[in-house]
Structure 1
Amino acid sequence: MLKAASAFVVPRLAFTRVLKGRGSAFAPLLSVIVAALVPLAASGAKTPERVISTDAAITEIVIALGALDRLVGVDDTSEIPVEQSSLPRLGYHRALSAEGLLSLDPDQLLVSEHAGPTRALAPLEAASVPLLRLPSAHDVAGLKSNVRSIAAALAIPKEGESLLGQIDTRAALINTYAPRIAPRAVLLRESNGELRVAGQGSAGNALLVLLGAENVVDYRGYRTFTAEGLLALNPEVLLIADETLPSGAQWLSRYPLLRYSQAAEAQAVISVDSRALVGGLSLTALSEAERILKLMSGTQKVVGP
């Protein structure tokens, strides 16, 4: 928009010089002329056609907006349809390469707040490649804000409004299934043989809030727990993230001590698709929330998919 706006500075100055000293009667005419020039100049702004996304949640928004064909590169966490499996991968979003990014000749870069290192992004900014840095969403409002920003950057406002409507519909559905009394819950994931429990400010906590649950821990980020430590927390609902979605029984056979938890007694040991925890609260997280809450409200028993 800055380039487009500069296109009408010269004519505006020219008209100002011509009319200078001829009285305020010409002021309304000048306003009309300048107002007419603004949309003409703005229409010359180039619509991004070579887009790079370095975040899984951002990539799925781009796809949901119908702009998959504009992507020329994505990070390793992004999920791409099979027909686009040959799309160049740019590595981990915290360890990007300036050479890799520039080699794709992008005209729009979409990154999360965690993208880096700074030295990898600086050359693109120096080359005047538009860069949109988005915060991780921790609630539906944050997710919708990111949708608006991406739709605006890609110049597809109608598609953006349509997706926002879909999100509102899905959020309303999730709310109808959410428990009226928030159960005490824990969300954890296995990492190198350790059990990592999600705290405040994490994608795991965002999913718990979306589910209408209360996170029993109050620290920020993730911390490692033993099975004994988890049992001491004694949650009413236990969510365990894993891409393969094992059944509750499989988890309890792996960690038999957890059979004595309230969650196990209530058959509320739940597998969560770990892809729903990448990049904050995402469209995938909405799908997972719907699946989990339908299971819980339908049978009060959570089993494998």
Structure 2
Amino acid sequence: MKPIPVRRILWVIAILIVLGLLMAGLARAQPVQVTDDRGRAVTLSRPPQRIVSLLPSLTETICALDQCHRLVGVDRYSNYPASVQKLPKVGGGLDPNIEAIVALRPDVVVMSVSSRAGERLEALGVKVVTLEPKTHADVQRVLGTMARLLGQPDDAARKVWRVIDAAVSAAAQSLAPEARNTRVYFEVSRGPYGAGESSFIGETLTRLGVKNIVPVSLGPFPRLNPEFVVRANPDLIMMGNRSMQNMVPYPGWDTIKAVREQRLCVYGPDDSDTVVRPGPRMAEAARLMAQCINDKMARKPQTANSPATRP
């Protein structure tokens, strides 16, 4: 057999590359349709290339799907990953700067259902998708919806969720036996607003093997009477209040077992963002929460010089 000329091989390779690029281009040009959390079907002529995000968890979801480069603006609280800190800030999620958003010429704006900006933006011809994860199932669902919006394969979302789910399971396995069934109160913000059993934080606590003092019946993030926490008398308190105002004591809390025995985990701003956002960093959140529970509730090994072993 005669050898195939090198030039012909190069031509075949070039043709295959061109065909691949054309197919990728056609895939990007395909219309996309998603149903958001208002129950509205939103259709775009192609996957959006210019996105404004008004919710930190959605910002992080887009980046977890390796599409951070499509973001052209974010709300003032979106700060992870570090690259988004360089993007234009367009105000808060509830009170964004409409003019600043429009000036960025977004193909779509993603935001929470509770934002008041959606109708105003739509009246100006801007496409809006509202998504608001509150539970583990919501986070998984939002990952899938965002992947479809971005024109990404379904497996891209599944891979991210598998990492989250596996990390939460690993955090649960790391819990010391004596720390299991600890009665925990998690304060999300000053009020106090607690994380109930039905919230994504509550679901993580349940998977870790501890007891949440805020029952399902009170909702995901209820505002509580401080006396409720006093009566519940938790073994451990976690505080994810970014403003750190949670250091101001509530009346009567000095009688709570967790306070008396200094079993409190007060997360700083960075860790607080991690534990209170329902998104890809729930994996790290589970690790931080398990570490707190172990540090405060697991028995420490005694040394020869510890008071318990001295003669």
| TM-score of the aligned structures, taking structure 1 as reference length | 0.67
Which residue of structure 1 aligns with residue 166 of structure 2? 169
Letter of the aligned partner of 1:147 in structure 2?
A: L
Coordinate RMSD, CA, aligned: 3.5
**3-state secondary structure, aligned to 1:222:** coil
Using the TM superposition, give the Cα deviation of residue 73 of structure 1 relative to its aligned residue in structure 2, in angstroms: 0.9
| Maintained 8 Å contact 2:163/2:283 | no
Q: Report whether the alignment pairs 1:291 with 2:284.
A: no
Using the TM superposition, give the Cα deviation of residue 284 of structure 1 relative to its aligned residue in structure 2, in angstroms: 3.0
Please point out which of 134, 150, 155 is paired with 2:151. Answer: 155
Pair 207,164 (structure 1): closer, same or farther in 2 beyond 3 Å: closer
**3-state secondary structure, aligned to 2:130:** strand
Task: Give matches, 1:1-305, under 5 Å.
Answer: 44-45=29-30, 46-123=46-123, 126-127=125-126, 129=127, 131-139=128-136, 141-157=137-153, 159-177=156-174, 181-189=180-188, 191=190, 194-199=191-196, 201-202=198-199, 204-218=201-215, 219-220=218-219, 221-226=221-226, 229-243=228-242, 258-264=253-259, 267-272=262-267, 273-276=271-274, 278-279=276-277, 281-297=278-294, 300=297
Mapped to 1, the partners of 2:104 and 2:88 lie a distance apart of 9
Mapped to 1, the partners of 2:94 and 2:49 lie a distance apart of 24
Using the TM superposition, give the Cα deviation of residue 290 of structure 1 relative to its aligned residue in structure 2, in angstroms: 0.7
Mapped to 2, the partners of 1:59 and 1:70 lie a distance apart of 10
Letter of the aligned partner of 2:273 in structure 1?
A: R
| Maintained 8 Å contact 2:189/2:242 | no
- With 173-182 and 147-156 compared, the bigger mean Cα shift is at 173-182
Using the TM superposition, give the Cα deviation of residue 110 of structure 1 relative to its aligned residue in structure 2, in angstroms: 2.0
- What percentage of residue pairs aligned between the two structures are identical? 21
Pair 111,294 (structure 1): closer, same or farther in 2 beyond 3 Å: same
| Maintained 8 Å contact 1:52/1:108 | yes
Pair 186,40 (structure 1): closer, same or farther in 2 beyond 3 Å: closer
Mapped to 2, the partners of 1:166 and 1:110 lie a distance apart of 24
| Maintained 8 Å contact 2:185/2:237 | yes
| TM-score of the aligned structures, taking structure 2 as reference length | 0.66
**3-state secondary structure, aligned to 1:142:** helix
Which residue of structure 2 aligns with residue 13 of structure 1? none
Using the TM superposition, give the Cα deviation of residue 203 of structure 1 relative to its aligned residue in structure 2, in angstroms: 5.4
| Maintained 8 Å contact 1:144/1:164 | yes
Structure 1 residues not aligned, in runs of 5+:
1-38
Using the TM superposition, give the Cα deviation of residue 74 of structure 1 relative to its aligned residue in structure 2, in angstroms: 0.9
Pair 208,296 (structure 1): closer, same or farther in 2 beyond 3 Å: closer
Mapped to 2, the partners of 1:89 and 1:222 lie a distance apart of 30
- With 74-83 and 100-109 compared, the bigger mean Cα shift is at 74-83
